[in-house]
Amino acid sequence: MKTVEKRIRECMIEGKKAFIPYIMAGDGGLETLQDKLLFLEECGATAIEIGIPFSDPVADGEVIQHAGERALSNGVTLRKVLDKLEDIKGEVSVPLVIMTYLNPILAIGVTSYIEKCQEIGIGGLIIPDLPLEENGLLYDQLQGTDIALIPLLSLTSTHERMADITASAEGFVYAVTVNGITGVQNSFGGELAEHLKCVKEVSPVPVLAGFGISTPQQVEELGAQADGVIVGSAIVDAFHRKDLESISRLIKAGDRKFKIIATS
């Protein structure tokens, strides 16, 4: 069992749910990355998802797109983020999950990317534009490492597709809660509860709900239907506004039921 899954299951054993916050690396400058990670860890994050700025995102909503643009304007790249994480290795004890699109990985080279992630101690990888049929590109090389290749599962997935995707899932399944991009949602469709129930029935690893979760009430609502939640846009926006109290309240919202993990 890889460390990311182990941490989530420890929460479950304690009767809590996992909470993973998402941040955009380099938004506000790479020099702020360590402080953000340490703050989220102190607040109680189970793990933290670190987004890499990309010029042509397909899953990011307005808040995260703007954060990515600010990071890109600061000259932030995947390679620079990895170098920064190497510099602060050992300072943060919660597992770190990197979310990036496939093209920056190919630019570095798959083998080089995986080797660098191993050196740093990265616990998981999320690649939104890597389809199941092509995941052997990384999956095979990740075997024998502590790095989990974490799949995303959409609301439109059939039961057969769910079974195919979860069969090789590692760490946790990222169950997308809306049809579309990330961003604050006022409410979620009535089909979501049944969808999460179906995913949990077929998945051998924990199931975390993400996309659109932005309030303490939604953390509790979605957390009750999954093994944990991933929160991104609300975290990114609050960091941009330097509203650390809102982040703390959000993470602690379901403290009796959750322990947190950071993302989109």
In order along its 264 residues, the chain shows pLDDT tens digits of 999 999 999 999 988 889 999 999 999 999 999 999 999 999 999 999 999 999 888 767 789 999 999 999 999 999 999 999 999 999 999 999 999 999 999 999 999 999 999 999 999 999 999 999 999 999 999 999 999 999 999 888 899 999 999 999 999 999 998 665 454 444 455 678 888 999 999 999 999 998 888 888 888 888 889 999 999 899 999 999 999 999 998 888 756 555 555 554
- Asked whether the beta carbons of 5 and 174 are under 8 A apart, the reply is no
* Catalytic residue ranges: 49, 60
How far lies 28's CA from each of 48, 71, 80, 237, in Å? 18, 7, 14, 12
Q: Tell me the sheet residues that pair with 89.
A: none
pLDDT at 118: 97
pTM: 0.92
Cα distance between residue 50 and residue 230, in whole Å: 12
The count of C-alpha atoms lying within 13 angstroms of the C-alpha of 124, restricted to the half-sphere facing its C-beta, is 35
Could you state, in order of their start, the residue ranges of all structural domains in the chain? 3-263
pLDDT at 218: 87
Cα distance between residue 56 and residue 244, in whole Å: 29
Q: What is the 3-state secondary structure (H, E, C) of 39-68?
A: HHHHHCEEEEEEECCCCCCCCCCHHHHHHH
CA dihedral 177, 46, 112, 35 (to 10 degrees): 110
pLDDT at 262: 56
**CATH number of 3-263: 3.40.640.10, 3.10.20.520, 3.20.20.70, 3.30.930.10?**
3.20.20.70
Cα distance between residue 129 and residue 111, in whole Å: 18
> Which segments of 74-191 does DSSP mark as H helices, in order?
78-87, 102-108, 110-120, 136-142, 159-167
